Chains A and B, each alone.
Chain A
């Protein structure tokens, strides 16, 4: 049997699957449940400085081979959020996702996290900062944050304050993504998550002659975005040395293998928790193990970047 154990950013993981941010993950209890159902690590719902109710419902709508979502960063704010996620006891690592309107806000978030870490209340393996939400005014793509300049500034500001690894998350398919990835590396971040949803896209209900999403448009997730994210992982892998989390449409073990061959070290899963239930983490892990065994790879890490060698 091939070994599926993974090491990522110095963190030991029982397998390379990670819960993607914003998919479940609003409460500690739920993150624990996702670990029990197979995830190797979990990322929380993104936390912002202020409390956000998020966009009006519908916040999700199905499209061909995927979903549009416009949650709009609903979250209880950094203070309640850090309270919620304190006292993590499981061996799977907790990664806290944060997002902000500007570098100053990012600094405040980092101070709050650093303070909690120092008090010993918060036990988390890494922080993920998101530059790339496509459907929330003042944040991410709608604020034009996915540029080399901003990415580098945010990375530097966070690294100056955080004593734990930093992951930065981008949306694939945006012009200049390789330059952004290089800037993230220059800024001192330890990994890149590729990626966030893409778009925004729109769904119109023809019976009602109306946009379905409460916000009108939303980010595309699921299998529909997979080829774009895989291409982006492939390009970024060639250009940076820091490891990559591959994310977007991963539904089966073979999708995960494909991302890893493009250059991802670990993979994050979101929408597939709809297609295959929350047990999707253990299902994908088993499928990966089976595939690796059948193809005589002793370790899962042996396939990382394999597509670059041919």
Chain B
């Protein structure tokens, strides 16, 4: 009689903070001296004793890379950390983004002929700290010869993070801002349409960020028949399929997700519509 082999670890680890870097007025990036095995899209539960425990996306492993927006009591405490301090966490937890399978010879050839790159190109659409897991994904994609085009969507210029990180990986980057203070003026989905109108083709789209952005992207991808995967965030507490706080329709985001295909997410009546707070009470109109 076997226990579920896929069950996530609950071991708490305490590791050194290797570096702290300020990304913008409210986001800091932390590198943590740890060698966990994780896949892009998975998250860890970061614990600050006597403060709390919160889910954070992985921007990479070995060292672990986290980028955290300072918005409340827990993230305040994290922003106090300096190089040489320690950070505790458990994980990795949850499901991951799946990269497209390398193409068969013929398709590879066709793609080369249509001036698309090598094995194929994927589209990454990130908003806010949503770029963090997408950066991890772009690194993994590059390792197997898949190129990434990235849309970094922000409200205004000073919200943009990770532009240089993606560029250093050789990704093509399109910045979109709601107010036009930098890059393309418009939202992320308008940015996607802009790229498509230039004749760009993508094997698959991946997104993490505000839910409405992912919702409209998933709808657009469905219409255009482009496979897509999104990271659905809900209030998460236990992270291990037990407490039920992060329910979206019948599924639990902490363990059935956070990564779902766009079509699966669209099949949830609550995706793009209903979230819940720490008590389980509905917050509508997201």
Contacts and interface: CB of A to CB of B under 8 A. Distances in A.
A36 B251 CA distance: 12
Nearest to A19: B244
A53 interface: yes
Contacts of A277: 4, 6-7, 241
Contact of B252 (A30, A57, A62, A214): A30
B88 interface: yes
A20 to B, nearest CB: 10
Contacts of B14: 205, 207-208
Interface in A165-192: none
A276 B245 CA distance: 19
Interface stretch (A72-80, A225-233, A234-242): A72-80
Interface string B71-109: 000000000000000101000000000000000000000
A26 B237 contact: no
A71 B237 contact: yes
Interface stretch (B50-58, B158-166, B187-195, B200-208): B50-58
Contacts of B52: 56-58, 214
Contact of A58 (B6, B47, B270, B279): B47
A59 B247 contact: no
| Among B4, B54, B242, B245: residue with most chain A CB under 10 A | B242
| Main SS class of interface, A | loop
Given A62-B10, A205-B12, A29 B247 contact: yes
Is chain B's binding surface mostly helix, strand, loop or mixed? loop
A74 B49 contact: no
A208 B243 contact: no
Interface string A257-294: 00000000000001101111110000000010000000
Interface string A25-64: 1110110110010000000010000011110111111100
B250 interface: yes
A273 B251 contact: no
Given A252-B1, A274-B7, A54 B279 contact: yes
A127 B173 CA distance: 56
Contact of A75 (B47, B250, B280): B280
B155 interface: no
B110 interface: no
Contacts of A27: 244, 247, 249, 276, 280
Given A24-B252, A60-B242, A278-B241, A205 B247 contact: no
Contacts of B250: 29-30, 32-33, 36
A304 B3 CA distance: 27
Contacts, number: 139
B240 A274 contact: yes
B281 interface: yes
A59 B47 CA distance: 11
A60 B238 contact: yes
Contacts of A29: 247, 249-250, 269-270
Contacts of A271: 242
B212 interface: no
A78 to B, nearest CB: 12
Given A30-B252, A207-B88, A252-B1, A71 B243 contact: yes
Contacts of B10: 61-62
Interface in B38-76: 45, 47, 49-54
B278 interface: yes
B286 interface: no
A211 B47 CA distance: 11
Contacts of B21: none
B282 interface: yes
A76 B282 contact: yes
B243 A274 contact: no
B3 A26 contact: no
B277 interface: yes
A195 to B, nearest CB: 18
A202 interface: no
21 contacts: A22-B244, A26-B244, A27-B280, A29-B247, A30-B250, A30-B251, A36-B250, A58-B45, A59-B237, A69-B243, A71-B243, A77-B279, A77-B281, A80-B282, A205-B12, A205-B14, A214-B52, A274-B241, A275-B7, A277-B4, A277-B241
Given A27-B247, A29-B269, 5 more contacts: A59-B243, A74-B279, A207-B12, A212-B12, A275-B7
Interface of A: 22-27, 29-30, 32-33, 36, 45, 51-54, 56-62, 67, 69, 71, 74-77, 80, 84, 205, 207-208, 210-212, 214, 252, 270-271, 273-278, 287
